[in-house]
Chains A and B, each alone.
Chain A
Amino acid sequence: MEELLQHLINGLSLGSIYSLIALGYTMVYGILQMINFAHSEVYMMGAFFAYYSAKLLKLENSPSFTTLLIILFITMAMCSLLALSIEKFAYRPLRKQPKLNVLITAIGVSLFLQYVAQIIFGADPKVFPTLINDQLLFEVAGVPVKSFDVTILGVSVTAMFALHFLVYHTKLGQAMRAVSHSPAVASILGINVSRTIAFTFVAGSSLAGIGSILVGIKYQKIEPMMGTMIGLKAFVAAVLGGIGSIAGAVVGGLVLGVSEVLVVVYGSSQYRDALAFGILIFILLFKPAGIFGKNTIEKV
């Protein structure tokens, strides 16, 4: 029982990271109807932004809550800038082109960033700076609760609530929802569509930046190829929840995280990645709209 609880905590903290990244996929899909494959590379770059900013500010060996906050904000800002330039130079010129062109461009941007990162940062893994100490905080029913897990869950839950507030209680969020429904009508009503789309990229990539730091804290190892697998898993999480749905991305990420941990513990760690893709195939076969998605019929 205690063991199971421990695994659940592990699964939730892994799942909340998937959720954070899945939110970026789902938001961009909601507003542009495209899968932004470069998102996983924004996440990867986020880890390096955090690594180098901690080095430059000489914060790599002074773990504290303040350190974590400073690095979080810098990384979010840098990831936003990166995503804004991707949107402006790679996607915006193609906005009126068929969706497939943008999709292929996204894959191109993703590969470009992966290899640029290998050239600049080197292909070898780097040790992520200790931003926060891993210590035993308290025990619940004999289960040790450590500060890593609390930080990861705390930061991601806060970020998700902030996103929820932004989308449902501010003019920016309402503009996002209006544009995702119909850019033409939103524009007639005075909403600057390009700016709203840019803002969606900022929000999604900030969450990816947060995710990259949490992964850095949890696994302490970063490398230029780290975005590929977690990006695919987060994409599966977004599809599982229903792509385009914000609640779906959160739930999808958590379900995926917990089931992955349970498979590793009670099955075999070899099936860890197979599970995610098994879920993807299963969802696409039996409920393509996902848990929270609405089944829309594509009009021809």
Chain B
Amino acid sequence: MTSPLLDVQNITMQFGGLKAVDSFSMQISKGQLAGLIGPNGAGKTTVFNMLTGVYQPTSGQVVFNSKSLTGLKPYQISHHGLTRTFQNIRLFKNLTVLENVLIAGHQHIKYTWWDIMTLNKSFSLEEKALNEKGKQILNIFGLYEKWNEKASSLPYGEQRKLEIVRALMTSPEMILLDEPAAGMNHSETHNLMELIAKIRKEFNLTVLLIEHDMKLVMGICENIFVLDHGVKIEEGIPSKIQSSPKVIEAYLGVDSETH
């Protein structure tokens, strides 16, 4: 068996006396679409923060593409091909749609300050190529017409979409989506599901998403991890999760009557 693309080994995150995540492990193989679910405050976003270097795990390690990510800064992890979106929209609001996308593409251009000062070919060609690539990717997602508008002027659903497009511009191998459907209505969620399936196919991506919308998670994820109070209580295919007593207990509480 080949080694998984993302191999999380017993990561723990301790904030003072509080263990936000306790010895969490998961393996995700290349090309998979996995989900991370759990009640509010279970530590899902903390896991994302540890995977992307925002927090350094108190113990345990994260291995991505057979390389350890321990101690790396977020930008270095991004250079390794692992990127994410945020639960609340964090676009560069005052910049245009295209600029938002271009910023994410910068790690792949090579020109130096010397090329800028001399305004040579390498500079202008690379800037042009990046611009093209940005417009192309916006075109795929139907945002091309709005490339020159301020990001903050887009409707909510498109802002969420732009955030995903921006993350894709870093050319990742794996993308972590933190509640991509938060605040979306029914039809927007439906479009989002199609979008996620599409980017996965077209960009050959591995996806891990956090989501509250159970319909979305059960509908598209192949493998699901369930967190409760920082501990992994279950993992497996959707049908297994749906019928797991531990998961039902975590979501509904011990004493509640189930219908």
| Interface, chain A (partner B; CB < 8 A) | 166, 169-172, 174-175, 177-178, 181-182, 184-193
Is A188 a contact partner of B95 (Cβ separation < 8 A)? Answer: no
Residue of B at shortest CB range from A166?
A: B116
Across-interface contacts of B103 in A (CB, < 8 A): 174-175, 177-178, 186, 189, 191
Say which residue of B75, B78, B113, B167 sits within 8 Å of A172 (CB atoms).
B113
Is B99 a contact partner of A174 (Cβ separation < 8 A)? Answer: yes
Is B95 a contact partner of A190 (Cβ separation < 8 A)? Answer: no
| Interface, chain B (partner A; CB < 8 A) | 52, 54, 73-75, 78-79, 83-84, 86, 90, 92-95, 99, 102-104, 106-107, 109, 111, 113, 116, 123, 127, 130, 166-167, 169-170
C-alpha spacing A172/B117, complex, angstroms: 12
Is A189 a contact partner of B99 (Cβ separation < 8 A)? Answer: no
Say which residue of B52, B74, B92, B109 sits within 8 Å of A171 (CB atoms).
B109
Is B104 a contact partner of A190 (Cβ separation < 8 A)? Answer: yes
9 inter-chain pairs at a CB distance below 8 angstroms, sorted by A residue, are: A169-B127, A171-B111, A171-B127, A185-B86, A188-B74, A189-B166, A190-B75, A191-B106, A191-B107
Minimum Cβ distance to chain B for residue A121 (Å): 31
Is B78 a contact partner of A171 (Cβ separation < 8 A)? Answer: no
Check A187/B73 contact, CB under 8 A, given A166-B116, A171-B109, A175-B106. yes
Across-interface contacts of B123 in A (CB, < 8 A): 170
Across-interface contacts of A193 in B (CB, < 8 A): 75
Minimum Cβ distance to chain B for residue A213 (Å): 19
C-alpha spacing A172/B102, complex, angstroms: 11
Residue of A at shortest CB range from B79?
A: A190
Across-interface contacts of A186 in B (CB, < 8 A): 75, 103
Is A188 a contact partner of B94 (Cβ separation < 8 A)? Answer: no
C-alpha spacing A188/B86, complex, angstroms: 10
Is B78 a contact partner of A184 (Cβ separation < 8 A)? Answer: no
Residue of A at shortest CB range from B117?
A: A162
C-alpha spacing A172/B127, complex, angstroms: 11
Is A192 a contact partner of B75 (Cβ separation < 8 A)? Answer: yes
Minimum Cβ distance to chain B for residue A290 (Å): 16
Across-interface contacts of B116 in A (CB, < 8 A): 166, 170, 172
Across-interface contacts of A187 in B (CB, < 8 A): 73-75, 78
Minimum Cβ distance to chain B for residue A101 (Å): 23
Minimum Cβ distance to chain B for residue A161 (Å): 13
Is B92 a contact partner of A188 (Cβ separation < 8 A)? Answer: no
Q: Of residues A177, A178, A181, A185, which shows the largest number of chain B Cβ atoms within 10 Å of its Cβ?
A: A185
Residue of B at shortest CB range from A199?
A: B113
Across-interface contacts of A172 in B (CB, < 8 A): 113, 116
Is A174 a contact partner of B106 (Cβ separation < 8 A)? Answer: yes
Across-interface contacts of B166 in A (CB, < 8 A): 189
Across-interface contacts of A169 in B (CB, < 8 A): 127
C-alpha spacing A188/B130, complex, angstroms: 19
Minimum Cβ distance to chain B for residue A162 (Å): 9
Residue of A at shortest CB range from B169?
A: A189
Say which residue of B73, B92, B167 sits within 8 Å of A178 (CB atoms).
B92
Is A188 a contact partner of B83 (Cβ separation < 8 A)? Answer: yes
C-alpha spacing A182/B107, complex, angstroms: 17
Minimum Cβ distance to chain A for residue B86 (Å): 7
Minimum Cβ distance to chain B for residue A16 (Å): 22
